[in-house]
Structure 1
Amino acid sequence: MKKHHALQLYDYHVWANNKFFERLKELPRDIYDGEIQSVFSSVAKALDHIYTADTIWLGVMQEKSMDEIQASIAHAQEKTKDKSLEEMENLFQRLSGEYQKLLNNVSDLDKEISPVHPQFGRLDTHFSELVQHVVNHGTYHRGNLTAMIHQQGYSSVSNDYVYYLYEISSTK
């Protein structure tokens, strides 16, 4: 049976994040936490943002209350504050495990879901579209990471979706 596209997209998201962690571990430490003038003040801050956003959307997909989600934002920001590259990688791995648990237990990945945002109001959408949003958001900011690494004089890592597809097709 073919894997639901939302599951494959989330697998890509994890794969691409892992590619960045692998690359960052090859580079001098100051590439990760050194301050630069860019979209984010450091690569670490960009990773903090991706992690916090992923935490928010996990709560939305778990259909938590906005109060619970707001609390998770503060908690995520506290967890990521001043973390080393290896600590951030571990946080990302644990969070992806929480996503996997949720994704494996949702009986209908295309089910309707209607989160209510305090500023934007109610959104009638589908669970799979929220997964797509998490992936798109991560892809966007991995582009920022690529630019930030290049700005500091180093090559980044190829993490386009098609490279993921090639890699998984070669392991079948």
Structure 2
Amino acid sequence: MKNYPAEMLNYHFWASQTILGRIKELPPAVLHQEVNSSYPTLAHALNHIYAVDKMWYLVLTGMEMGAALQECMPLSGRILETVDEYIQLFAELANQCKEWLGNGLDTEQVITLNNPYAGVRETSLAEIMLHAANHGSYHRGNVSTMLRQLGYASTMTDYALYWYRQPVSAAL
């Protein structure tokens, strides 16, 4: 039986690398060009996606959420200079997740999630994995809108497209 939460996480990393590949095709200055949107630049949006991905990865691998937030929040403010740096950063995290997923874990395992903003609840690893993929989709939508505001076409990253495509080289 297919592990759908793991498949959604694989899709998420593929989609992130796909949109990063599109940004790489554009003039380098686009990454830092200001736009009136959810984030001031594409780099800021990418930092947010990465920081949250990393935070959820740490939670999935056993770190308490408050500690994971403390470790990852500074990442949101760390602006990288080039798209290649983002491609590498996202690929490294995707590889860490791939290794973690390959350990035969039970995605239905329930953990106590103590979210400093929302409270304590019991949740499964699968639910967190689905949330991480959904969060990435939401913010890739922001990135697509920002690209259009900057005068460039985006690229498709729909889950249905993922079914028919081979992952880009840096994705899972």
- Asked if Structure 1 and Structure 2 have the same fold, meaning a TM-score greater than 0.5 normalized by the shorter chain, the answer is yes
Match in the other structure for 1:70:
69
Q: Distance in 1 between matches of 2:73 and 2:116?
A: 17
Match in the other structure for 2:10:
11
Is 1:103 aligned to 2:119, yes or no? no
Taking only the aligned residue pairs, the percentage that are identical comes to 31
Q: Contact conserved, 2:44 with 2:76, CA < 8 A, in 1?
A: no
Q: Contact conserved, 1:66 with 1:117, CA < 8 A, in 2?
A: yes
* Ranges in structure 1 where 5+ consecutive residues have no aligned partner: none
- The amino acid that maps onto 2:155 is V
Q: Distance in 2 between matches of 1:67 and 1:129?
A: 18
Q: Distance in 1 between matches of 2:37 and 2:79?
A: 19
- The amino acid that maps onto 1:102 is W
Counterparts in 2 of 1:83 and 1:114: CA distance versus 1, 3 Å: farther
- The amino acid that maps onto 2:144 is T
Q: Contact conserved, 2:80 with 2:86, CA < 8 A, in 1?
A: no
Counterparts in 2 of 1:106 and 1:72: CA distance versus 1, 3 Å: farther
Shift of 1:145: 0.5
Runs of 4+ in 1 over 3 A off after TM superposition: none
Q: Which moved more, 1:68-77 or 1:33-42?
A: 68-77
Deviations 1:47-97 (A, max 9, x none): 00000000111111122134531332145346x433321111111111111
Match of 1:139 among 115, 128, 137: 137
- The amino acid that maps onto 1:43 is L
Q: Distance in 1 between matches of 2:97 and 2:36?
A: 33
- The amino acid that maps onto 1:156 is S
Structural RMSD (CA): 1.6
The alignment's TM-score, normalised by the length of structure 2, stands at 0.89
Match of 1:113 among 111, 114, 120: 111
The alignment's TM-score, normalised by the length of structure 1, stands at 0.89
Match in the other structure for 1:163:
161
Task: Give the alignment of 1:4-83 within 5 angstroms.
Answer: 4-66=3-65, 68-74=67-73, 76-77=75-76, 80-83=78-81
* Ranges in structure 2 where 5+ consecutive residues have no aligned partner: 167-172
Q: Distance in 2 between matches of 1:151 and 1:63?
A: 40
What secondary structure sits across from 1:123 in the alignment?
strand
Instruction: Count residues in correspondence.
Output: 166
Match of 1:152 among 139, 150, 153: 150
What secondary structure sits across from 1:70 in the alignment?
helix
Counterparts in 2 of 1:146 and 1:90: CA distance versus 1, 3 Å: same
